[in-house]
Structure 1
Amino acid sequence: MPVTTLSAAVHITPVVIHTFFSHGKRKAIKYKEGNEEEESRDDIFFDQAFNIVRAFIELGIRNTVESLQAFTNTHVPAPYWAAVSPVRIPLSSCNAAADLLIEWFGPEELKHVVGGERWWQVRGLDGLDAEWITQKEYLDHGDPIPEDKNKLSKEDKDILRMEKLETVMLYVHGGGYFWGSVNTHRYQIIRFARKIKGRAFAVNYRKAPQYPWPCPLHDVIAAYLYLIDPPPTALHKPVSPSKIVFAGDSAGGSLCLTALTVLRDMGVPLPSGAVLISPWVDLTHSLPSVMQNTETDIIPPQGFLAKPSPLWPVDPVPPKEGRAGPTTTDRPPEPGHADTLKPSEPRLEKDAKGDTRKHKLHSQEEMLQENSTSHENGDSSKPGQDQEYDIDHWEPKPPKVLMNDSDATPLELRSQIQVYATNEQLTHPLVSPILQGSLGNLPPLYIIAGDGEVLRDEIMYIAHRAAFPQDYPTRAGVLRDARRQKENVEKFTTPTKVHLQVFDGMCHVLTVFTFTESAKYAYRSIAEFVKHVTNDPASGQPFPDVHRHPSRSSTHDLDEQYPGRSKKGVPSKHQKAPENQEVERVEHNGILDEVSDVVMFTASVDELAAAATSTAEERVIAGKAKDDAAFVMLRDRVNIYGRIRPMEPREEIPALQIKASQIGIIKEDPCTRWWKGQQEWDKRFMKKAERAVKERAKIKAKAQRLLENARKQGLLLVREGEDRQHPRFRDASEARSTSANPVDGTIQEDRRWGPLDLDDENPPLSAIAKRRDTLEALALLKKSIYHSAPVTHATVPKLKPSDAVRAAFDPHDDPTRPPKQSVSEQQRKANIIPMHGLRIWNVLVSYFMKEKAKQAAAYVRGVGERAGERAGVIEEQKSTASR
């Protein structure tokens, strides 16, 4: 059964029931054992939400990639209190972003690492979908609309009314790079817009595996350029970079960080800051928490697998030698590394001679020693060498896995392990930004992570890398293989100012769980950061004072009404907290200072509130941080009630003790776990995989027939060097189809490339731009021929009648309009039933929040009534005494 609202309900209902009983049982055991340690999952609402989200992701990976994408990219209506205005970022902005990336990569890297400069610019839609989002209460509907704009739709008029909201959050959603959309995250983004009292701009970037790296990165950069340099057709005015903050979660957080490095390298004005929520920055899974925190996170232990379909995996049926196994090839690559995408001349010559002699397979230690010697002698695969060779005569060897036992023969991977990028691309700094040559000279970063998530270590590591680049250098092999990264180490040396917060007991992307105290604190702190860097960028202090007194309800400010009250995590004036619980640690150029936060929880809430108003300079001893330029990093831990405490010294954090040579390499434990999970999937879905292979062959035959008919009907392409003025070519303005829909059938001047322009390119095997064996690839091909042709097409042929009749009976096609494009790019409309699973989730979350608000309000009323009764008793006693 595909991922639908019904299937999700069927799958999740038993989980809800089981959690209800297991939660009570677990708390009873804790009570019986006298265990008073408070955990995030002691809250029944969080425990239920945690298991629901984890169950939904498990349902997703038991279905096809297309099914999960379609469900999470189905349009969900916005709530009545939000103003949501969809826009389409035009091809001109996408082209500007492409030019920037082409210059960043350079011709050699484009050819041998990316696979070309054209395929990732091919898209089905006439641009990129995005949304302007804010609260309706922030719009003044009394503002006059210019007369020439009166015919605009309500949504377009709202864009004009948003202009007075200067602060803009450019939000990039998460979802493992292959699922999720503006629909899954819209309620979170609305909350951010309300908190920052500004507007958000959410981008629905293309997803892998149909549009793998660097397609999503291309789209994020296009969205930023659209904001700061809008085309004439845009309704908004140029937004100053100083008023923009990047924000993203998981894969979206990594895309934000990666886009910042590209903009920095190319000299484009940077935004004022970035919020990274659980960013996925290491696709090799080389740090320990990826193995240690599987029980406390929502991410599946075996990673994101999928039920086989014509689209994914690349090999539905496992290769004869298996998806992984003991290595059958000697060096290169060395253990732990993927092969280089650009071979050395000696190796190329050796492969061209057909050297098929069997080599003795060495142990891992012997391979590493031999590779080390080869590097010293210059006889290795150094991608930076300047030489000519024929790439068609060479293919990378499978990556070898770094084993725990140095005497073992390394495993080698024979299948693609990540949806987003090929195995050889996983260590590229624009895929795994943890391997960036430099993370310096970036705008201030506010980075948050859950202590229970599998990505915790890589998040902590990259935060410290940005703030202390000299202490956490990039692995030497990365710099050797990438010219630009080597230059960046020397070019960008100014430490980036970072605020890192790790939340106790929280899982991946804690902002999903909006009703928890941790999430409320995170939303509030993110909003303060955004408002601070956009409204007061010249202050010199990179972060606002986020050290507040206890988390407050979003609907009732209980602390202000009853400052002396006591609640969990908030000592009253008569209570004491554990010694040193509220000591702030701030690092300045690597020096750790401990500063009492005026009181150490021995004061009242009012006194704590007064202390919280002190500036960072006032709280740092000896004036060591009075020069804001010397400020480097804030490091906090946040408990389940939204109270902060200092993070332990760097030398006590295991993830920060790992050598640079061990970062970003492929290791045995996570690979073995993925391999076992994939073996289970291959066994469970063996027949489905075989059907997927047959389906591919049928679709490929359809594509071939489509191309043959199009050529017979007059399809002509402009080849390089040909003259467009030749009589056989029609001018673009005249090249119209005679199909039933007069709007379509044009050659678009801003559409540079199509699926028929990629003969000399080598995109990843999953990319639909050059594929002909999936329904989505077929839809993309048909649209580029008959509806939205690139400038390389000289004609737009008329659809053959027999093809039109066939299209009328095809649920995936239409004879009068362009076929629906990939669900990884184009939103789907909801079915007849207007209620969608994503909307149900948001309704449930809102319900839980309202229930907690009611409880809080009842508590306040109770406190007030009891206070009133006590006041009456005291007054009566005074009256009696006076008498």
Structure 2
Amino acid sequence: MPVNTLSAAAHITPTVIKTFIEHSNRKRKKFQQGQLEELSTDDILYDEAFHIVKSFILLGTKNTVESLQSFTNTHVPSPYWAAVSPVQIPLVTTNCSADILINWFGTEELQRVVGGERWWQVRGLDGIDAEWITEREYLRPTSVKKDAKITPKISNSDKDILRMEHLETVMLYIHGGGYFWGSINTHRYQIIRYARKIKGRAFAVNYRKAPQYPWPCPLQDVLAAYLYLIDPPADALHKAVSPSKIVLAGDSAGGGLSITVLTILRDMGLPLTAGAILISPWVDLTHSFPSIMTNTQTDIIPPHGFLSRPSTLWPVDPIKDGGRVIPVIPQPKASHTDTTIERPYERNISDKIADEKHTQPHVKSLPVLAGDDTISCARGADKVEDANIANSHMNGQAMDVSAAGKVPDIDDLDFWQPKPSKVLMDNPRDIPLEMCSQMHMYAATEQLLHPLVSPILQGSLGNLCPLYIIAGDGEVLRDEVIYLAHRAAHPTEFPARAGVLRDNPRQMQNAENFQRPTKVHLQVYDGMCHVLTVFTFTKSAKYAYRSVRHVTNNSEEHLERNPFPELHRPSSGLLADEEPDHDERGDAETMAGNAENSLLAEMRSRRSDIKMYKKNESKVKEEAKTGQADKIAGTPGAVEELLGDVETQKDIPNVVMIRERVDIHGKVRPMEPKGEVTALRVRPEEVGIIKEAPLNKWWSGQKEWDQRYRRKAEKVVKQRRSNQTKAKKIMAAARDQGLLLEHEMPPLSQLHRLASDTMSAPSTREIGKIQNDRRWGPLGLDNENVPPSAIANRRDTPEALALLKKTIYNTAPVTHQTVPKMKTSDIIRAMLDPNDDQNQHPQQSVSEQQVRKHIFPSLHGLQMWDSLLRLFMRQRSKKKKGKQRAAAAQITSEQKRSSLP
């Protein structure tokens, strides 16, 4: 059964019941045993919500990718209090973002790594779906005199765009979802909360998703969204937004895209945003940090990662009889005379280790991986060349790349810093393994080391705008998030992996040129899972939402000097004018007629959460004063200045990083010293290596799925062949109807007919047109090395056929000379096909185009999840309100007793 509201409800209901029973039993045992330690799962609301989300994501792995994409990209109506105005970022803007990426990559890297410059620019829609979002009460009242553009001719949605122009602060939000699911619909409720917190407006983008549109397709779309804000096209309703008024935000995959876009803007000399908010950013697709193994039970991510039931779309190889992971058997080496020298595998590896121990006595055990001696099953396998560079790191010494200006020329670098698809074995003497199947939908295995795929491998993360980075202590991505934050704040202390610098000249330059520390505020939340802001009703999430204003209330000059509101003088006052969320409202109405109204009003003005933020703010100041916060090294007078009376200073200066942990009640404390943080003990040469344990974690699940869905996979193979036959018929019919591509001449037999068609009366049906801004289509990709999952070059999925038809008959790229006119028989045949309405453009991939439900759209599961969150918020608010009333009653009682004679 596909992923839909009914199947989700059927799958989740037993989870709700089971969680309630287990929660009650666990709390009873904890009380009986006298355990005092507080856990996040002690809260029944969080415990239920955690397992609901985890159960839904697990349901997604038991269905096809298309099914999950369709469900999460279904249009859902917005709440009545929100002003949501959909727009489409036009092709002219997407072309500008493509040009920036082309310049960033360069000709050689585009062909070698990306596979060309055309295929990733192919899209089905005429732009990118996006939304302007804010609170309806923030809209400026309509004035006929002031609003010349607001006329009866434009829609109410467009009017709202004009009425929110006065809101200067803009959050550009990039949603998460593993790069392959999720949409502006799944995240709209969270984005509305952000808009309220910053008292501004948000701009959300529905970027194309993998595997139909793999890397760098989503990257191009996110970059286009930023360009659309700062340099809007002539027909856009909004004015250009200053980069100093934009905050870039994203969760999970969206956080990874956000940090990647920032590095591109920096590298190309384009203006950066005022700041960025990275929520559990996924920045290491090789899974090379320890928490990927240790935090499986405490996170919502499925234990085997994002698997799926076979479909015509995914996996690329539904049946892999040879194995998705294989042992690598070494090949005998040949001499220059073509005679082979037999050398046993064990002896070969032993010699290599012995040689290293002889030259580097301190090395006790070094990672062993197959090099030139092995059979490679991945395309583009790299030649083993350089280095022993790992030795300096293994001895506790970081290589100073910036000072040297180049990577030292040492032998066998790839031996110690292997590239995917090679696997680092736990036991050096085990026969190495190699991946022969794509693990992630977002990028091919051999692309995982690219810094724009895994931004943790950037040559430098310095010289960026201020970053607010949060992670849950229980999530599988915790360690890579912590490492990312420290790499940004301390570019020289946490250098890049040497192999990445060797293979990417731009990254080598970045390591040399961008050494200025990025201002970073890192918070790790106790007991919380991946993307804790999903659980909006928890105290941890509430504190995180209130912290997002850390770069929105001050001038660009002030932010350059000090981006941390906790260190401002006078105090930042972020929450002085904050209003409660819609789901927390009602307190004032309930309390209005109360006898203790004045006392309760005073309590409302000193809400506990505001007091909590103020208390945490004072703790951060104390950290800076006592030297616990990271400061710019060698700054004259910095320590002495901090040791003075901090309340008299304008700002606490020179702080580059605030490192905090936040408990389940929202109270902060300093993070432990760097030497005690597991993530920071990972050496640079280990980052980006596919290790045996994470591989086996995915592989064991994939083997189970391959066995469970073997018959389905066999049907998928037949379906693909059938679709390929249909594609050939489509092409044959289009050619017969007059399709001509660039540099093609029509056959002599068609010349007269084409001329006659040109002079004939126009058809009653619009047959489409050639779009000047649409550069490429699926028929213009000659000499491109297109990824196997990309829709642009496929002809074996229904979505690929829909894209092919649209670019032939409806919206042709400039590479087409003609738009064929369908025969009457073809139109009649299409009318009998429920998936092909010739009166409309073919519905495009659900990874790009939203699905519109015409029956009961409000009953969609995403709408129900939002309703459930609001219910939890109200329950939390009632509980809090009860405590306030009890406290007020107690104070009143004490006051009465004290007034008695």
Superposed, which structure 2 residues align to 1:422-821 within 5 Å? 422-526=444-548, 528-532=549-553, 537=558, 540-545=561-566, 555=584, 561=603, 585-589=628-632, 630-719=654-743, 741-742=765-766, 745-821=768-844
What's the offset of the Cα at 1:523? 0.2
Letter in 1 for 2:73: N
- SS of the residue corresponding to residue 224 of structure 1 reads helix
CA distance 1:439–1:357, shift in 2 (3 Å)? same
In structure 2, C-alpha distance between the alignment counterparts of 1:474 and 1:170, rounded to whole Å: 29
Q: Name 1:608's counterpart in structure 2.
A: none
> In the TM superposition, what is the alpha-carbon distance from 1:3 to its structure 2 partner?
0.3
Aligned to 1:532, the other structure's residue is in SS state coil
- How far has the Cα of 1:100 moved from its partner? 0.3
Show the counterpart of 2:97. Answer: 97
Tell me which amino acid in the other structure corresponds to 1:431: V
Preserved contact between residue 471 and residue 481 of structure 2 (Cα < 8 Å): yes
Deviates more, 1:141-150 or 1:795-804: 141-150
Task: Render the CA deviation track for 1:359-410: whole Å, top value 9, x for unaligned.
Answer: 85457666787999999xx98458999xxxxxxxxxx997221001011111
**Is structure 2 residue 213 aligned with structure 1 residue 171?**
no
Q: Indicate the residue corresponding to 2:142 in structure 1.
A: 142
What amino acid does structure 2 have at the position aligned with 1:322? Answer: G
Post-superposition Cα deviations, 1:457-507, rounded to whole Å, max 9, x if no partner, equal 000001000111111111111011111101111111111111100001000
The residue type paired with residue 88 of structure 1 is: Q
Q: Distance in 1 between matches of 2:659 and 2:740?
A: 61
Residue type of the alignment partner of 1:715: L
Gaps of 5+ in 2: 357-367, 374-381, 388-405, 408-417, 589-599
CA contact (8 A) 1:737 1:797 kept: no
Distance, in Å, in 2 between the alignment partners of 1:225 and 1:113 is 25
Task: Provide the secondary structure at the position in 2 that maps to 1:303.
Answer: coil
Q: Do the aligned residues in 2 keep the contact of 1:382 with 1:480 (CA within 8 Å)?
A: no
Q: Are the equivalent residues in 2 in contact too, given 1:364–1:408 (CA < 8 A)?
A: no
Q: Report what 1:257 is aligned to.
A: 259
Distance 1:667 1:691, change over 3 A: same
Cα distance in 1 for residues equivalent to 2:480 and 2:711? 38
2:398 is aligned to none
Q: 1:276-295 counterparts in 2 under 5 A?
A: 276-295=278-297
Query: SS of the counterpart of 1:514?
Result: coil
Is the Cα contact below 8 Å between 1:747 and 1:789 reproduced in 2? yes
The 10-residue stretch of structure 1 (622-631 or 517-526) with the greater mean CA deviation from structure 2: 622-631
Measured at CA, do residues 134 and 566 of structure 1 come closer, stay the same or move farther in structure 2, by a change above 3 Å?
Answer: closer
2:551·2:564 contact (CA, 8 Å) conserved in 1?
A: no
Q: 1:50: how far off? A: 0.2
**For the Cα contact (< 8 Å) 1:736–1:796, is it kept in 2?**
no
Shift in alpha-carbon separation, 1:815–1:26, aligned structure 2, 3 A? same
Secondary structure of 2:83 counterpart: strand
**Who is 2:44 aligned against?**
44
Take 2:490 and 2:496, find their aligned partners in 1: how far apart are those partners? 12
Change (3 A) 1:433 1:356: farther
User: 1:643-669: per-residue Cα shift (whole Å, max 9, x none)?
Assistant: 111111111112101111100111000
Query: 1:559/1:357 Cα in 2 relative to 1: closer, same or farther (>3 Å)?
Result: farther
Match of 2:326 in 1: 325
Measure, in 1, the Cα distance between the counterparts of 2:342 and 2:243: 58
Counterpart Cα distance in 2 of 1:429 and 1:812: 40
Asked whether the equivalents of residues 369 and 422 of structure 2 are also in contact (C-alpha less than 8 Å), the reply is: no
Task: Write the distance in 1 (CA, Å) between the matches of 2:491 and 2:682.
Answer: 15
Give 1:284 deviation, angstroms.
0.1
Taking structure 1 as reference, are residues 412 and 242 closer, same or farther at Cα in structure 2, changes over 3 Å only? same
Question: Which residue identity is paired with 1:37?
Answer: E
Letter in 1 for 2:713: A
- The answer to whether the 8 Å contact 2:776/2:813 transfers is yes
Show the counterpart of 1:4. Answer: 4
Distance 2:49 2:623 in 1: 30
Maintained 8 Å contact 1:249/1:277 = yes
Q: Which residue of 1 aligns with 2:415?
A: none
Alpha-carbon distance between aligned partners in 2 of 1:301 and 1:423, rounded to the nearest angstrom: 20
Give unmatched runs, 5+ long, in structure 1. Answer: 333-346, 386-395, 597-615, 879-883
The alpha-carbon deviation at position 850 of structure 1 amounts to 1.0
Question: Equivalences for 1:174-185 in 2 at 5 Å?
Answer: 174-185=176-187
1:633 aligned counterpart, secondary structure: strand
* CA pair 792-734 structure 1, distance change in 2 beyond 3 A: farther
Describe the shift of the 1:153–1:54 C-alpha distance in structure 2 as closer, same or farther (beyond 3 A).
Answer: same
The reply to whether residue 212 of structure 1 matches residue 235 of structure 2 is: no
Q: Is the 8 A contact 1:553 1:853 kept in 2?
A: no
TM-score scaled by length of structure 1: 0.86
Question: Which segment drifts farther, 204-213 or 322-331?
Answer: 322-331
Letter in 1 for 2:159: K
Displacement, 1:327?
Answer: 1.2
Distance change (3 Å), C-alpha of 1:261 and 1:423: same
SS in 2 for 1:247: strand
The equivalent of 2:231 in structure 1 is 229
Which residue in 1 is equivalent to 2:593?
Answer: none
More moved, 156-165 vs 806-815: 806-815
In the TM superposition, what is the alpha-carbon distance from 1:540 to its structure 2 partner?
Answer: 1.5
- Quote how far apart the aligned CAs of 1:759 are: 1.8
The residue identity in structure 2 corresponding to 1:541 is N
1:872 pairs with 2:872: no
Code of the residue aligned with 1:531 in structure 2: it is: T
Instruction: Please tell me the residue identity of whatever aligns with 1:813.
Output: D
Offset at residue 147 of structure 1 (A) = 5.4
Partner Cα separation in structure 2 for residue 589 and residue 505 of structure 1: 32
Is the CA contact (8 Å cut-off) linking 2:310 and 2:709 kept in structure 1?
yes
What is the DSSP-based 3-state SS (H/G/I as helix, E as strand, rest coil) of the residue aligned with 2:793? Answer: coil
Amino acid corresponding to residue 276 of structure 1 in structure 2 = L
> Residue in 1 aligned with 2:299?
297
Report if aligned partners of 2:562, 2:651 keep a CA contact under 8 Å in 1.
no
Q: From the superposition, tell whether residues 662 and 808 of structure 1 become closer, same or farther in structure 2 (CA, over 3 Å).
A: same
Shift of 1:740: 5.1
Q: CA deviation at 1:415?
A: 0.3
User: What's the offset of the Cα at 1:325?
Assistant: 2.4
Cα distance in 1, alignment partners of residues 290 and 784 from structure 2: 38
Cα separation, partners in 2 of 1:694 and 1:857, compared to 1, 3 Å? same
* Contact kept? 1:169, 1:246, Cα under 8 Å: yes
Q: Is the 8 A contact 1:196 1:530 kept in 2?
A: no
Separation (CA, whole Å) in 2 of partners of 1:183 and 1:112:
36
Q: Are 2:422 and 1:400 aligned? A: yes
Which secondary structure does the structure 2 equivalent of 1:769 belong to?
Answer: helix
Post-superposition offset of 1:832: 1.7
Shift of 1:627: 8.6
CA root-mean-square deviation: 3.9
Give how far 1:525 is off.
0.4
Aligned length: 816
Q: Is the 8 A contact 2:629 2:659 kept in 1?
A: yes
Aligned with 1:246 (options 245, 248, 251): 248
Instruction: Supply the AA of the counterpart residue of 1:281.
Output: V
Say if 1:552 and 1:559, in contact at 8 Å, map to a contact too: no
The one-letter amino acid of 2:184's match is: V
